[in-house]
Structure 1
Amino acid sequence: MNHLLGIHHVTAMTDSAERNYDFVTKVLGMRLVKKTVNQDDIHTYHTYFADDRGNAGTDLTFFDFPNLPQGIKGTNSISRIGLRVKSDAALEYYRKRFDEHNIKHDEIKELFGSKVLPFEEADGQAYQIFSDEHNEGIPGGIPWKKGPVPEDMAIYGLGPIEITVGYFDEFKTALTTIYEMRIVEEHDDVALLEVGEGGHGGQVILRKDSEKQAQQGYGLVHHVSFRVADEDAINAWMERYHKLEIGNSGIVDRYYFKALYARIGHILIEISTDGPGFMGDESYEHLGETLSLPPFLENQRESIESQVRPFDTIWKGE
C-alpha cells in the first residue's frame, strides 16, 4: 500500500533547545523521545517530542538554530501546528494550564465541527489543540505515562496542519492530484483536506492569504511530513515524483525512518516511513536522556559533543 497514511511529523525551528524542551515537556506534557543532531547541520540539535513510545504521527520536532533571526509570519508558509487531545474536557484542562503557566492563548472555539484551543510558544510559534471528542479516523498515540499531565487529558498525537498560501486553488489542486488528498469541506478562502483513514491525524487546513510573505526563521515551521508504511511505499513515491517531474531529494536514510523531500510551491513536504522508529538505540525508560547519534555519525561523537552545548533532559517530574 503506497497511499499516504496520515501526518508523520512536523518540524519547527526554535532559538533555544533548552527553553523549548521546558515548554514542550513541562507545559504541553509531551515526551522527549530523541535528542540528536540535525543530520544536515550536525553541530545543532534536533529534538523529537512524541507520545509515550515515539509512535509515527505523534512527533513534534525542532531544529535548534540559536543564530537564526526570528521568523516573520505571513503567507506561503506552514502557519500553525495541530495537536490532539481526547476530549473537550482536556481542552478546558489545557486552557487552565496555560493560564497557570502564563502561556498566550485564545479562547476555545469551534473549527470544522471540532473544538480547538489556539496558543503560542514564547518565540511566537503558533499551535492549536484539537479535541477528538467527535473525531473519527486515524487513531492517536499513547499519552506519556510519566508526564506532568494526567493521561486522560494529555496530548497524544498531531492534529491538522495549517498551510497558508496566496495561490490557493493551485495548491489545493496539488494536494488533491499529487498526494491524493480528499476535500472534506470548502469555503471561499479555506478548505479542509484529508488522507488515509482521515480525521484529525490526517488533515490539512488550507487557507488563502495574499498579503505579507512569510520569512523563515525561529518561531516558524520548517516542514511537514506524511506517513507511508515502509520502504517499498517510499520507493513508489520517488517513482511517482519522477513521473510527475517533481524535483525531489531522493530517499534519505535518517536512521529512525527513511525520508523523501519535495518543495511544492513554497512548502517543503516530506514523506517518511513509519519505521524503524525511536526505540532501537535507547531503552524505553531512558528515551531522550542522552545525545543519540545514528551509526554513520557515531565516529564523530567526540567532535559533535564538543560543539553542541550539553543540556539536561533527564525527566525528574514536574
Structure 2
Amino acid sequence: MNVKGIHHLSAMTGDVKVNYEFYTETLGMRLVKKTVNQDDTTAYHLFYGDERGNPGTELTFFDFPGIGPAKAGVSSISGTSLRVASDEALRFWEKRFEKLGVKHEAISEFAGRNVIFFEDPEGQQLALVSDENNTGVAAGTAWEQSPVPVAFAIIGLGPVRLTVRKPESTIAVLGLLGFRETSRVPALVEGQEDIVILQVGEGGSGAEVQIEPRNDIPVAQQGKGGVHHVAFRVEDEEEIMAWLDILNQFRLPNSGFVERYYFLSLYFREPNGILFELATDGPGFATDEPFETLGESLALPPFLESRRQAIEANLKPLDTSRK
C-alpha cells in the first residue's frame, strides 16, 4: 500500500500567457492538457510534462488573473525540482539560462546531486536536478518536438521541498504513506535544523520529499509563484479507496473520492497545513485527445462538456496550437 512516488505538483500563475511561453519555449516542456480548474471553471488548468504527461512528470498551473504574489514561509511547498538526464545537461541549461536572462544560481551540489536553482517569471522557486547517478523511479520520455535537444530535456519531477514549523508531524504522515528517512543534510539557513530526506517505493529523485524545518519565518501566503499542492502516485481506484479507509481510520480530514477524469484523486491536509493529493496513474491525458495534438485545444471532461459554451466565454483566449 505504499505510494509509488510523486505524481504531479500544482502551482499558481497570474499570467497564463507568460506562463505558457516560459514552460514550453524556455523550458521546452510539452503542454499535454489545456483544461479548466474543475472547482473553478473560470480558471485554466494547464499541465506540462514529458511527451505524453506520464505520471511523475507533470507540473500544472491554475490561472488566476490578478492574484498577488506568494509570500514565502512555513506550511508551504517551497521548492520544486525538475529532472534532467546528466551533469552535461545542467551545463547546457546554465548557458541557456544566461542567454535567455533566466534568474538562476551556478551549478552546485545539494542532497547528493548536482543542481541549478532558478526562478520562473513569477518567482516560483525551481531547480534542475541531474540524474547522472540517480536510481529508483524511472524518468519520463523527452518530447522530440521540444525546442530543447532531447539529450538535455526535462524528463520528470524531482525532489519536492516542504518547509514546516513542526517537522515531526509531517514526517509522521509521510511515514503513513510509506516514506522512509534516507539521510539528513545541513540547513540552508544558519541556525536551523537539518533538512530531512525521505523517499518512498523504488526511491530516487522521483520519489523524494525534503522536509525543511524553520522557526524563523511566518506562515506562507499563497499566490502567483507559489505551489498549491503536491500529488503522490497510486496505482488505481482500488488503492484510492483503500487509502480513503486508512485516512478515515487515522481521522485525517479529506475530500473523499474525487473523479478528475484524467486520473482519480483523494485530497487531505497534513498537520502543518500542506495540501496532499493521492492520484492514480491512469487513465491519462490521451483519453480524449490524439497524442499528436495534446494540449492544442481546450479539453473538458464529459461531466463539463455540456457547459462548454459558457466555460469558454469566461476564459481569456490562449492560443496553444503548434505551428
Structure 2 residue aligned with 1:126: 125
Opposite residue 66 of structure 1, the aligned amino acid is P
> RMSD between aligned alpha carbons?
0.9
Mapped to 2, the partners of 1:164 and 1:242 lie a distance apart of 26
Q: TM-score, normalised by structure 2?
A: 0.96
Deviations 1:43-79 (A, max 9, x none): 1100000100111110000000113211111121000
Q: 2:254 maps to what in 1?
A: 248
Partners of 1:298 and 1:181 lie apart in 2 by 39
**Per-residue CA shift, 1:262-307, capped at 9, x if unaligned?**
0112100000000000001111111000000000000000001111
Letter in 1 for 2:124: Q
Q: Deviations over 1:85-135 (max 9, x none)?
A: 000000111111111110000111111211011000111111011100000
Partners of 1:312 and 1:161 in 2: CA distance: 31
The equivalent of 1:290 in structure 2 is: 297
Residue 201 of structure 1 is matched in structure 2 by 206
Paired letter, 2:319: D
Partner of 1:12: 11
CA–CA distance in structure 1, aligned partners of residues 78 and 238 of structure 2: 31
Pair 1:186 & 2:184 matched = yes
Check if 1:279 corresponds to 2:286.
yes
Q: Deviations over 1:239-280 (max 9, x none)?
A: 110111111000100000000000112100000000000001
Q: How far apart are the structure 1 equivalents of 2:314 and 2:218?
A: 37
The alpha carbon displacement at 1:216 in A equals 0.9
Displacement, 1:214? 0.8
Give how far 1:311 is off. Answer: 1.0
Report if the CA contact (8 A) 2:178-2:201 is conserved.
no
Aligned equivalents of 2:322 and 2:94: distance in 1? 24
| Partner of residue 319, structure 2 | 312
Equivalences for 1:45-124 in 2 at 5 Å? 45-124=44-123
- How many matched pairs? 314
**Alignment equivalent of 2:245, drawn from 217, 239, 247:** 239
Which ranges of structure 2 fall in alignment gaps of 5 or more residues? 186-192
Which whole-Å CA distance do the structure 2 matches of 1:291 and 1:253 have between them?
Answer: 19
| TM-score, scaled relative to structure 1 | 0.97
Q: Once the 2 structures are TM-superposed, how far is the Cα of residue 310 of structure 1 from its aligned partner?
A: 1.1
The separation in 2 between residues aligned to 1:280 and 1:213, in whole angstroms, is: 39
Deviation per CA, 1:137-187, whole angstroms, max 9, x where unpaired?
A: 0000000110000101000000000100011222222222x2121101025
Q: Which runs of 5+ in 1 are unaligned?
A: none
* Partner Cα separation in structure 2 for residue 109 and residue 168 of structure 1: 26
Letter in 2 for 1:158: L
One-letter amino acid of the structure 2 residue matched with residue 273 of structure 1? T
Distance 1:280 1:114 in 2: 36
Match of 1:217 in 2: 223
1:230 aligns with 2:241: no
Identity %: 48
Quote the Cα distance in structure 2 between the aligned partners of 1:165 and 1:125: 18
In structure 2, how many angstroms separate the alpha carbons of the residues matched to 1:144 and 1:221? Answer: 25
Q: Is the 8 A contact 2:164 2:214 kept in 1?
A: yes
**Distance in structure 2 (CA, Å) of the matches to 1:99 and 1:36:** 33
Q: Residue type matched to 2:244 in 1?
A: M
